[in-house]
């Protein structure tokens, strides 16, 4: 299996320098996500793949759900454990496609903020579904939040899609339609001048493609929504929240 974990670790270790424990809170911006996940987790436990600095895992823990995590970046986990001790929220360093988390009896495994696309090869994404399935208890749920590729915005011959454009930030994505790769370019601006530049590589994945991956892992689709508020998913939805279940 191809493995992009070393490349991703370098990227996210660098990004971790911009995270701080104070960034983690049960705010209005994440309340809908937490409501959704807490309901599925029930008495738990829950496992977050690509847990990062704990933006979702920590407030979910504070709501009373037992949570563990996996992340490719040791630096991210250091930030996480500056917020809550490892005894309260254990986290394993490794790829979410292969890493072992403590236990094999999770009521919920979830991936948020498009993190499934950080696995840069299709076989890694397939392996991630298998990894989630083997950590789930019978009847447990696997949830992924991810954007829907916006290929309809690409005129013939164009590979760039604009994202965020403000006085201080410019983000655009460049697509490779053959490999399903996207590079998200980020530019910080000050008075019209670029003061920093960077970006992250991704492999976009279609909802129907994920359903095949889930089926390969023995999981069945329960529902798909446009957002955490359970609004209907349509052909116009720019993102999806998918829920699969492991059979009893």
User: What is the chain's Cα-based Rg?
Assistant: 18
Tell which phi-psi region holds residue 218, choosing left (phi > 0), alpha (psi between -120 and 50) or beta: left
Query: What percentage of the chain exceeds 70 in pLDDT?
Result: 99
- Collapsed DSSP state (helix, strand, coil) of residue 54: coil
| The predicted structure's pLDDT at residue 134 | 97
- β-strands 67-71, 91-93: how paired? parallel
Query: Please, what is the average pLDDT of the chain?
Result: 93
Containing H/E element for 213? helix 207-216
Pick from 83, 94, 27, 91: nearest CA to 58: 83
Structure tokens at 174: 């460049």
> What pTM, to 2 d.p., does this model score?
0.93
Chain centroid to Cα 59, Å, comes to 16
Tally of helices (H runs) and strands (E runs) in the chain = 6, 11
Identify any residues that bridge with 91 across adjacent strands, giving them in sequence order.
Answer: 69
Burial of 59 (0-12, 13-18, 19+ CB in 10 A): buried
| The predicted structure's pLDDT at residue 26 | 78
**d(C-alpha 76, C-alpha 97), whole Å:** 17
- Report DSSP letters for 144-199, one per residue: EEEEPP-GGG--TT--EEEEEE-SSEEEEEEEETTTTEEEEEEEEEETTEEEEEEE
Q: What is the per-residue pLDDT across 4-38, written as a single tens digit (0 to 9) for each?
A: 888 889 988 888 888 876 677 778 889 999 999 99
Q: What is the per-residue pLDDT across 144-186, written as a single tens digit (0 to 9) for each?
A: 999 998 887 787 888 888 878 898 899 989 999 999 999 999 8
- Which of the pair, 137 or 24, is modelled with greater confidence? 137
Pick from 101, 124, 85: nearest CA to 7: 124
């Amino acid at each position: 299996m191809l493995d992009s974990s070393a490349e991703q670790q370098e990227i996210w270790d660098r990004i971790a320098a911009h995270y701080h424990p104070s960034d983690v809170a049960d705010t209005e911006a994440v309340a809908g996500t937490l409501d959704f996940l807490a309901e599925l987790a029930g008495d738990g436990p829950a496992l977050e793949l690509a847990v990062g600095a704990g933006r979702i895992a920590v407030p979910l823990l504070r709501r009373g759900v037992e949570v563990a995590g996996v992340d490719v970046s040791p630096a991210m986990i250091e930030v996480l454990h500056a917020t809550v001790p490892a005894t309260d929220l254990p986290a394993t360093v490794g790829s979410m496609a292969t890493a072992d988390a403590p236990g094999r009896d999770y009521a919920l495994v979830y991936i948020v903020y498009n993190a499934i696309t950080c696995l840069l090869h299709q076989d890694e994404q397939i392996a991630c579904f298998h990894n989630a399935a083997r950590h789930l208890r019978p009847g447990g749920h696997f949830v992924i939040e991810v954007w829907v590729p916006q290929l309809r915005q690409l005129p013939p011959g164009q590979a760039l899609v604009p994202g965020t454009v403000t006085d201080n930030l410019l983000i655009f994505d460049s697509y490779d339609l053959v490999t399903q790769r996207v590079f998200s370019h980020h530019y910080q601006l000050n008075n019209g001048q670029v003061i920093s530049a960077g970006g992250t590589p991704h492999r976009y994945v279609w909802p129907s493609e994920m359903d095949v991956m889930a089926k390969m892992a023995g999981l069945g689709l329960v529902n798909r929504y446009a957002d955490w508020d359970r609004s209907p998913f349509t052909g116009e939805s720019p993102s999806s929240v998918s829920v699969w279940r492991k059979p009893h």
